Amino acid sequence: MRTPDRHVATPADPATDIPTGLANFHFRCLDSYRAMGMLMVFLAHCYFASFVQMRDTFIGPVLDRFDLGLPMFFILSAFLLYRPYVLAQLGDRPQPSYRRFVRHRIVRIIPAYWVALIALLAVGVLHAESIGEALSFFGLVQIYDSAKVFDSGFQPIYQSWSLATELSFYLLLPVWALAIRAATRRFPGSLRVRWSLTGIAGLYVFGVLFRAFIVWADAPRQAVLWLPAWLDMFALGMALAVISGHVALGATCPRPIEWLARHASVSWLIAAGLFVVVTLYRPDARPLTLTGREYMTRQFLYGLISVFWVLPAMFGDQRRGHLRSVLATPLMGFLGAISLSFYLYHVALIEQVQRWTGAAPFENNFLELVGIALPIVLAIAIASYYFIERPALRFRSPRRPGVPTPSPPSTR
């Protein structure tokens, strides 16, 4: 077995079921994508709050598409979570423990989320109309009831719908991995990869078809938040995980990917060019309105942009190139580490600043809003990370005699 020196330098956990810790390599450059995605989503929400002022400016179409950060998060999540299953499948090793997987996911998200939810409800920034409605948010099942998601009178951390969608993916992933493993166990390695990618392609197509159904059929409005509507994004991350795992176990990297990995700036330029294209598809003049052609095109391009954007951090020598040296800086890594807490609090802070300034809905001053909300939410996110997230992460893996507890990556 060849050492995967073209991936990441150090394993995040030396005590793993996969030899040499391949399953838990920490892709250090990916932390910076969490930081960038975090700031993009924040600026996109500030743009929506300042829609009246910003919609006709030259920067408006760019800010409007900064919600790209969310699909990119889904792709990163699928890549990082599915890769250990790929390595187990292709390397004929035991499948990762389901119990351990569930424990990791719970301690990564639930403590920070519950504390944020309780804190914001306690200070009156958010409110619940009934105990049942509050429990739906604590259980991350609110996306299955449109009244709980779209009702302006009850929206505790309404952006947490994406965590509910991710939770659905967490439930699907081990089952999918087990099914693929059973279906391909008698195949040689190359056929396992082909059938795995074929199955993932089916997930992608299903996601696109489900989204088309939402747009052109009389589907429940909240269906845009369900996992099937985002399966294509998760499928892209899973496909990248299959290729990465295959290469890590000694296979030759596909030439187009290898070339883009060696020319990281070109990959980013392609992503930038596609991003310019997506800004030309202007949405409806009313904010948060879904239109068919624009929505379908946007989501397809978001997936394509994200792949070219994140590819240099998944493939190639992570120690080479000016771009990767910037991505791997401690500051970017730290911002990526606090991204979950930042995400949980940022909308509440934007709305609070709106109340402080007395601005009407969608009529905030964009620069004033960013200038006031950003430092406050950063301070809250840092406090949440150090006092809530990091202590909780110590419970991800039980201590083994003689093995130091690793510092876990900030995977979401």
According to the model, what pLDDT value does residue 179 have?
95
403 within a domain of the structure (yes/no): no
Residue 351's CB is within 10 A of a number of other CB atoms, namely 18
20 within a domain of the structure (yes/no): no
Indicate the pLDDT class of residue 9, thresholds 50, 70 and 90: very low
Q: Any idea which of 92-96, 148-152, 239-243 has the lowest mean pLDDT?
A: 148-152
The number of folded domains in the chain is 1
Indicate the pLDDT class of residue 26, thresholds 50, 70 and 90: confident
Tens of pLDDT, residues 182-235: 998 888 778 899 999 999 999 999 999 999 898 888 777 788 899 999 999 999
CA separation for the pair 51, 46 (Å, rounded): 8
279 within a domain of the structure (yes/no): yes
According to the model, what pLDDT value does residue 409 have?
40
According to the model, what pLDDT value does residue 152 have?
55
Radius of gyration of the chain, Cα coordinates, nearest whole angstrom = 21
Indicate the pLDDT class of residue 151, thresholds 50, 70 and 90: low
401 within a domain of the structure (yes/no): no
The token pair at 196 is 């795995």
According to the model, what pLDDT value does residue 158 have?
78
According to the model, what pLDDT value does residue 57 have?
87
CA separation for the pair 297, 304 (Å, rounded): 11
26 within a domain of the structure (yes/no): no
Question: Across residues 258-287, what is the average pLDDT?
Answer: 86
According to the model, what pLDDT value does residue 22 have?
53
Question: Across residues 157-182, what is the average pLDDT?
Answer: 93
CA separation for the pair 314, 7 (Å, rounded): 7
Indicate the pLDDT class of residue 283, thresholds 50, 70 and 90: low
382 within a domain of the structure (yes/no): yes
Tens of pLDDT, residues 308-337: 999 999 998 888 888 888 898 999 999 999
According to the model, what pLDDT value does residue 65 have?
92
Mean pLDDT of the chain: 84
According to the model, what pLDDT value does residue 397 have?
63
Who has greater pLDDT, 122 or 381? 381
Is the distance from CB of 336 to CB of 33 less than 8 angstroms? yes
Indicate the pLDDT class of residue 410, thresholds 50, 70 and 90: very low
According to the model, what pLDDT value does residue 412 have?
45
Range of the domain at 268: 33-393
Indicate the pLDDT class of residue 24, thresholds 50, 70 and 90: low
Please count the CA atoms within 13 angstroms of the CA of 172 that sit on its side-chain side: 17
Q: Is the predicted pLDDT of residue 280 greater than 90, yes or no?
A: no
Who has greater pLDDT, 35 or 122? 35
Q: What HEC string does the chain produce?
A: CCCCCCCCCCECCCCCCCHHHHHHECCCCHHHHHHHHHHHHHHHHHHHHCHHHHCCCCCHHHHHHHHHHHHHHHHHHHHHHHHHHHHHHHCCCCCCCHHHHHHHHHHHHHHHHHHHHHHHHHCCCCCCCCHHHHHHHHCCCHHHCHHHHHCCCCCCCHHHHHHHHHHHHHHHHHHHHHHHHHHHCCCCHHHHHHHHHHHHHHHHHHHHHHHHHHHHCCCCHHHHHCHHHHHHHHHHHHHHHHHHHHHHCCCCCCHHHHHHHHCHHHHHHHHHHHHHHHHCCCCCCCCCCCCHHHHHHHHHHHHHHHHHHHHHHCCCCCCCCHHHHHHCCHHHHHHHHCHHHHHHHHHHHHHHHHHHHCCCCCCCCHHHHHHHHHHHHHHHHHHHHHHHHHHHHCCCCCCECCECCCCCCCCC
Who has greater pLDDT, 106 or 410? 106
Q: Is the predicted pLDDT of residue 377 greater than 90, yes or no?
A: yes
Tens of pLDDT, residues 40-74: 999 999 999 998 888 888 899 899 899 999 999 99
Residues 6 or more apart whose CB falls under 8 angstroms from that of 129 comprise: 153, 154
Predicted structure pTM score = 0.88
According to the model, what pLDDT value does residue 297 have?
87
Q: Is the dihedral of CA 218, 222, 228, 230 positive or negative?
A: positive
The token pair at 68 is 């790209």
28 within a domain of the structure (yes/no): no
CA separation for the pair 72, 47 (Å, rounded): 19
According to the model, what pLDDT value does residue 360 have?
87
Tens of pLDDT, residues 246-260: 999 989 999 999 999
Q: Is the predicted pLDDT of residue 393 greater than 70, yes or no?
A: yes
According to the model, what pLDDT value does residue 264 have?
93
137 within a domain of the structure (yes/no): yes
Residue 104 burial by CB count (10 A; 0-12/13-18/19+): exposed, middle or buried? buried
According to the model, what pLDDT value does residue 6 have?
33
